[in-house]
Structure 1
Amino acid sequence: MENNSHPLSKPLTLPNGTIIKNRFFKSAMSEALGTKENDVSPALVNLYNTWADGGTGLVVTGNVMIDRNALGESGNVVIEDVRDIEMLTRWAKAGTKNGAHLWMQLNHPGKQSPRTLSKKPVAPSAIPLSGNLKKFFNEPRALTGEEIQELIIRFGNSARIAQKAGFTGVQIHGAHGYLISQFLSSYHNRRTDEWGGSLENRMRFVLEVYHEIRRQTGNEFPVGIKLNSADFQRGGFTEEESLEVIRTLADAGIDLIEISGGNYENPAMQGANVKESTKKREAYFLEFAAKVREIVSTPLVVTGGFRSEQAMTDAVVQGEIDMVGIAKPLALIPDLPNQIFKGTYETIQLKPMKTGLKWVDNSAGMLEIVWYEQQLARMGNGKPPKPGHSVWLALLHTITTNGTSVFKKRRG
């Protein structure tokens, strides 16, 4: 029997009046389930139907790209026009069952588009990715001012089409080193025009994207953002800058802020270099969330690390966050919220992915991605997740399908 008195079952009202039925937030995960034409597949419909049945209040899709010439990975869904409106509508209908909200995450990869997909990716400035990643991503060229304006309109167009299809909101992906994150970082953005230099100029792109989405969808359509607390890169986006961007977005009327961190070159969102104090509290970015709480009243989500019902409940009851962001656990227990409300949930233990092969284990984050993507594919095919799925089988399947380079060029 469902426990309607559970603190996590309490509805949340967003600034624009939208009501989310509970405090569970399914954070974006890379599904790679789009068709070869980058359209919506029946597998995506099945997968999101499963999560809507599982009791999550707000479900966010994986990356949906705004430009067919700029993919983060093969299997991305792209929305440029209404050619795929029938399947988009099916996806939205499935994901909004049982009063769930389904938000589309909108993104542009910028320079983080693998060389197999982009001969000459675009970015704020012609700064290549560093270290070993150089081999897998081509050096970008700097966007022109006209191209920047076109991309802003594309974000708005994609949001409007999502709204038309029945999605109940959108999330702007401003984290993890993708294009918006690149604009915010003084390391990646070395422009000398109105889009670079001062923080005010560097945040102009994300603000214009937000305003364009509002212009095309109206004030009643929820718009959220996923933003880095920092990108943990020398000369890059700092906590102080992130707080200022958050303050500005809150003043502009953003409805929900999801906090994350890191990028391809320093993937903090995957739990890299987590402190002991953080491990005890489970969530990776609660300390930063406390700083955000001091300056804005906009609802907050922290994603990364939550495993136990107690930690999830404490973070909401103590007012540290408004929604609990969950990703990997929902790939293995899609009805995790329902289990908590029924009192049947047992804390999930996620084991690190290890094969013993140095070249694979050194990029364990990539192995985790393909292993979890295979869990999502199972649900998309109408099968239950398989927590005991062999790492070796996941590795074999991936190499057979994509070759070994997949382990260096992708992240969710």
Structure 2
Amino acid sequence: MKTLFDPIRIGGIALRNRLVRSATWERMADEAGRPTDRLVEVYEELADGGVGMIITSATHVTPVAGVLPGILGLYDDALIEGHARLAAAAHARGCPIVLQATFAGRNGERWNALTPSRAEIAELVEAYGDAARRAKLAGYDGVQIHSAHGFFLSGFLNPAVNVRTDEYGGSPENRTRMLLSIFRAMRRAVGDDFPVLVKIDSTNFDGPAEGKDAVFEGCLHACEALAAEGLAAVEVSGMGGAMLQTPKLPYEESVFRDQAAQIAARITGKFGVPVGMVGLNKTPAVMRGVLEKTDVAFFSLARALLREPALPAEWAAGRDSPAECISCNACYQDSGNACVFR
């Protein structure tokens, strides 16, 4: 019988359990995007707390000026040394760590799928590849492409946002082209043995039914295309619901279980790609139920670990009660995501 504390593998990464710290914005980088001492301490605490793997906060692949205060960056070789501190801190405590690579915009302007020209797309693809190369040099165990939460890349997969009429818009194949180009650029930069993961929107709980279907169809097509080329893992997420004070969700917990189960059924057996999910993973019994009934392989937590960094270790020691996080969303602060009760 599968348990939350089975050792698993994601690509070549060995995890001590199925619990992953999902990316969240700590606002603990300096103006250039270097990790601060405080961020190193946060990751040390997470690693000591027994999580199976840490995914860093979103790390910008182009200069961070005007993007988001305190966001990590890995757009220059001069930043590698600072990131090496994060990787070493996690490894010293027996925890693998993956860098999340993202792009939101330039010079304070948020970009969407319609913003870049073909030439700018080519530059961004190269920037993602360079960031992956730097992540490997810094000692990270892998890199995750952030294509979720309405940020730049997720818009390419969504036909409601991506109304481009060139080779990057229209059909599912065209809408996947940007994400697939980035994956291939990373592969060229780091080789086949360095794991590349993706975090991806699977639905929009607050949108119309037809919009939800279109988002999921784009997600599924992208996951299959990436899996066929050697993707290491999928972390399933989505838009709406959990980001609101009055959420519209299909379940009280583990809210993306249906989408994750369908994606896992499509790609895990065929390609051997593990699928996990974020979204209110707070109760061991609920997660065990998902494990028993589906091919979902891992569960990602962020807010619960803001409240209780040692939660995985406590569950491993026999605690079976839910996380203390009440999902109030008060942790979404301009000063960085942090639990107001801690």
Shared fold (TM-score, shorter chain, > 0.5)? yes
Give how far 1:283 is off. Answer: 0.4
Could you say what secondary structure the match of 1:296 adopts?
helix
Q: What residue in structure 1 maps to residue 3 of structure 2?
A: 7
Instruction: Give a deviation string over 1:282-310, Cα, whole Å, max 9, x none.
Output: 20111112211321112011111121121
Q: What residue in structure 1 maps to residue 266 of structure 2?
A: 295
Q: What residue in structure 2 maps to residue 122 of structure 1?
A: 111
Q: What residue in structure 2 maps to residue 185 of structure 1?
A: 158
Given that 1:72 and 1:108 are in contact with CA atoms closer than 8 Å, whether structure 2 keeps it comes out as no
* Structure-2 separation of matches of 1:351 and 1:318: 26
* Structure-2 separation of matches of 1:169 and 1:293: 21
Give how far 1:374 is off. Answer: 5.9
1:249 aligns with 2:226: yes
* Structure-2 separation of matches of 1:227 and 1:23: 19
Given that 1:56 and 1:337 are in contact with CA atoms closer than 8 Å, whether structure 2 keeps it comes out as yes
* Structure-1 separation of matches of 2:40 and 2:316: 25
Give how far 1:10 is off. Answer: 1.3
Give how far 1:372 is off. Answer: 9.1
* Structure-2 separation of matches of 1:162 and 1:50: 21
> Which deviates more, 314-323 or 326-335?
314-323
Of residues 236, 240, 249, the one that matches 1:259 is 236
In structure 2, runs of 5+ residues without a counterpart are: none
Given that 2:236 and 2:260 are in contact with CA atoms closer than 8 Å, whether structure 1 keeps it comes out as yes
One-letter amino acid of the counterpart of residue 54, structure 2: V
Give how far 1:388 is off. Answer: 3.2
Given that 2:25 and 2:337 are in contact with CA atoms closer than 8 Å, whether structure 1 keeps it comes out as no
* Structure-2 separation of matches of 1:273 and 1:40: 35
> Which deviates more, 308-317 or 192-201?
308-317
Counterparts in 2 of 1:322 and 1:306: CA distance versus 1, 3 Å: same
Of residues 38, 41, 47, the one that matches 1:43 is 38
How many residues are paired up? 332
Q: What residue in structure 2 maps to residue 21 of structure 1?
A: 16
One-letter amino acid of the counterpart of residue 19, structure 1: A
Of residues 318, 321, 333, the one that matches 1:370 is 333
Of residues 91, 96, 100, the one that matches 1:101 is 96
Q: What residue in structure 1 maps to residue 73 of structure 2?
A: 78
* Structure-1 separation of matches of 2:47 and 2:323: 20
* Structure-2 separation of matches of 1:179 and 1:74: 18
* Structure-1 separation of matches of 2:61 and 2:27: 15
* Structure-2 separation of matches of 1:81 and 1:208: 21
* Structure-2 separation of matches of 1:25 and 1:317: 19
Given that 1:70 and 1:108 are in contact with CA atoms closer than 8 Å, whether structure 2 keeps it comes out as no
Give how far 1:313 is off. Answer: 2.5
* Structure-1 separation of matches of 2:97 and 2:66: 22
Q: What residue in structure 1 maps to residue 139 of structure 2?
A: 166
One-letter amino acid of the counterpart of residue 13, structure 1: R
Give how far 1:340 is off. Answer: 1.0
Instruction: Give the alignment's Cα RMSD to 1 decimal.
Output: 2.3
Q: What residue in structure 1 maps to residue 302 of structure 2?
A: 327
Counterparts in 2 of 1:6 and 1:50: CA distance versus 1, 3 Å: farther
Give how far 1:70 is off. Answer: 6.9
Could you say what secondary structure the match of 2:267 adopts?
coil
Instruction: Give a deviation string over 1:298-334, Cα, whole Å, max 9, x none.
Output: 2011111121121223322444411111111111111
Counterparts in 2 of 1:345 and 1:290: CA distance versus 1, 3 Å: closer
Given that 1:45 and 1:94 are in contact with CA atoms closer than 8 Å, whether structure 2 keeps it comes out as yes
Say which structure is richer in strand. 2
Q: What residue in structure 2 maps to residue 339 of structure 1?
A: 314
* Structure-1 separation of matches of 2:168 and 2:236: 23
Give how far 1:71 is off. Answer: 5.5
Q: What residue in structure 1 maps to residue 167 of structure 2?
A: 194
In structure 1, runs of 5+ residues without a counterpart are: 126-141, 354-364, 376-385, 390-412
* Structure-2 separation of matches of 1:352 and 1:167: 30
Instruction: Give a deviation string over 1:2-47, Cα, whole Å, max 9, x none.
Output: xxx9822211123x44322211111111111111232221111111
- Identity rate of aligned residues, in percent? 28
Given that 2:307 and 2:325 are in contact with CA atoms closer than 8 Å, whether structure 1 keeps it comes out as no
Counterparts in 2 of 1:371 and 1:339: CA distance versus 1, 3 Å: farther
1:227 aligns with 2:200: yes
One-letter amino acid of the counterpart of residue 39, structure 2: L
* Structure-2 separation of matches of 1:189 and 1:158: 25
Give how far 1:223 is off. Answer: 0.8
Given that 2:31 and 2:65 are in contact with CA atoms closer than 8 Å, whether structure 1 keeps it comes out as no
One-letter amino acid of the counterpart of residue 295, structure 1: R
Could you say what secondary structure the match of 1:161 adopts?
helix
* Structure-1 separation of matches of 2:261 and 2:327: 29
Counterparts in 2 of 1:71 and 1:371: CA distance versus 1, 3 Å: closer
Give how far 1:58 is off. Answer: 1.1
One-letter amino acid of the counterpart of residue 61, structure 1: T
